[in-house]
Chain A
Amino acid sequence: MIEEQKYWNPVLETLPQEEIKKLQLKKFRRIFEWTYQKSNFHHSLYRKAGIKPDDIRSFDDIRHIPTVEKSMMRDIQRKDPFPYGDTLCVPLDEVSEYHQTSGTTGQPVYQADSWQDWEWWSECWSYILWAQGYRPSDRIFFPFGYNVFVAFWAAHYAAEKIGAEVVPGGVLDTQARILKIQEVQATAMMATPTYVLGMAETARSKMGIDPASLTINKITCAGEPGASIPTTKNRMENAWGAKVYDHAGATEIGAWCYECEEQSGGLHINDGFFLVEIQDIETGETIEEAGRMGKMIITALDRYAQPCIRFDSKDLIMWSSDPCPCGRSFQTIKGGVIGRADDIAKVKGVLLAPSAIEEVVRGIHGLSDEFEVIVDKKADIDQITLRAELIPDARDKEDSIKIQLKDQLRLKTNLGYIIEFHDYGTLPRHEVKAKRFKDLRKTMS
């Protein structure tokens, strides 16, 4: 009976949008009041802006509240209550979980969660798993390094919560993980797109195992946009003979959106637990219409120990106007997280999103899963080099693949590229998140 239920929360997930909006406003006021009272950092920020809890009566009032950026969190941390500093809203002895951001853009940010907040994390993930068809009968393999990064930790707890069986594949290497999947006949797994493709390649090339012959029937991705890039998604689904689903989350925010079983090209925002706003990157104007990209400002409506209120995530998203056939009333964003505002590079005066290059490369048969993009300058002129690998069977098609690549990249990004083909297996392989886009102009100046 429960296995057949389509929604994790049949009431909330089908609540009419106008009721969801009322719920969001009520919850926003509650978390804002709490944070105003408990967090010295937020209290000071809002007092300087002249905003008090009673001032929040509408969504328009919310838009006047100052946003919080990651850099602001860095400045106040490593102080008492150590190491979280002034944003902590509960006594230190109520903190039960420590995680931190990866620190790729600077000093890592520490994130405290009380047990209630950790329950909340796994609750958010339970919505995701249920919507993607995970059920108590699933045996889920987790091929990730269980460490200070939040990664799939909460998914693990959510898998337990929904009643599934969890197989932790923590310290095993890739080959041992594949053998374990085979041994226990796991039905699902979770990883970054880079690692999903890397595992498939290892299985095929080093172990003589066709990953599609294993028992994995669904995969949930995180950490990179690949599962929402159709060509990368196709590669993963074909390699594993499984459905691949996207989701988005972050250490400071929570697991805020997900693809459902319909795979309609959009991701549902968990509107019951998060308030998402989209702002124009340059003007800060609120974007309400579908199809216009902007950066996400997000509030976690029920996270209390170290709240997340109007956090400027830098994630680039756009509203979708297409209703999802799944029947959920939650809003959808088209194509998932398209990129990050600080990853968009201006090359020859054109804005370039690395995900656009990935979409082209992964759509061309004859190229391996790996590639690199190098942007540098020659005689003061920007140039882009794409390094890719031909798979062994495609070596005689080098010229036609090069033409195909150049044409499609020009069409997709409005830019010309120098194409370099490298021997199969010689470009760097990545274990978790890949850094395939390198802008050397920053180090040349």
Chain B
Amino acid sequence: MENEFDLKGIHEKIQLLKKVSEDILEEADDFPSLSRNCSRILASIKMMELNVSDIHGHS
């Protein structure tokens, strides 16, 4: 089935989001509220990777 989604474009945005989140996390060693929320964001980003990034080369 042809899909109408620009998976490559979405994948690139996910990677951008991941990079920004990782950068914030690096700065958050002594900032628990930033660090823990960032960790949770990264877990959600991983789910987007499973749903899009992993498959964009296969669709």
Contact = CB atoms under 8 A, between A and B. Distances in A.
Interface in A289-336: 302, 327
Interface in B25-59: 39-40, 42-44, 46-47, 50-52, 54-55, 58-59
Contacts of B7: 11
Interface stretch (A19-27, A38-46, A60-68, A277-285): A19-27
A12 B40 contact: no
Contacts of A19: 55, 58-59
A124 to B, nearest CB: 10
A14 interface: yes
Interface size on B, as a range, is 10 to 19
Contact of B47 (A23, A26, A114, A120): A120
B58 A23 contact: yes
A9 B47 contact: no
Contact of B51 (A12, A22, A115): A12
Given A19-B59, A23-B54, A23-B58, A14 B3 contact: yes
B55 to A, nearest CB: 6
A302 B47 CA distance: 10
Given A11-B7, A11-B59, A19-B59, A116 B54 contact: no
B6 to A, nearest CB: 11
A50 to B, nearest CB: 29
A9 B50 CA distance: 10
A23 B55 contact: yes
Contact of B46 (A10, A20, A116, A272): A116
B50 A302 contact: yes
A115 B54 contact: no
A326 to B, nearest CB: 13
Contacts of A26: 54
B59 to A, nearest CB: 5
A428 B18 CA distance: 54
B58 A9 contact: no
Nearest to A26: B54
Contacts of B50: 120, 123, 272-273, 302
B47 A22 contact: no
Given A27-B54, A116-B46, A273-B50, A10 B5 contact: yes
A14 B54 contact: no
B58 A115 contact: no
12 contacts: A10-B3, A11-B3, A11-B51, A14-B1, A22-B58, A115-B40, A116-B46, A119-B47, A120-B47, A123-B50, A302-B50, A327-B1
Interface of B: 1, 3, 5, 7, 39-40, 42-44, 46-47, 50-52, 54-55, 58-59
Interface of A: 9-12, 14-16, 19-20, 22-23, 26-27, 114-116, 118-120, 123, 272-273, 302, 327
Cβ-closest 9 pairs across A and B: A116-B43, A19-B58, A119-B43, A14-B1, A115-B43, A123-B47, A11-B3, A23-B58, A11-B59
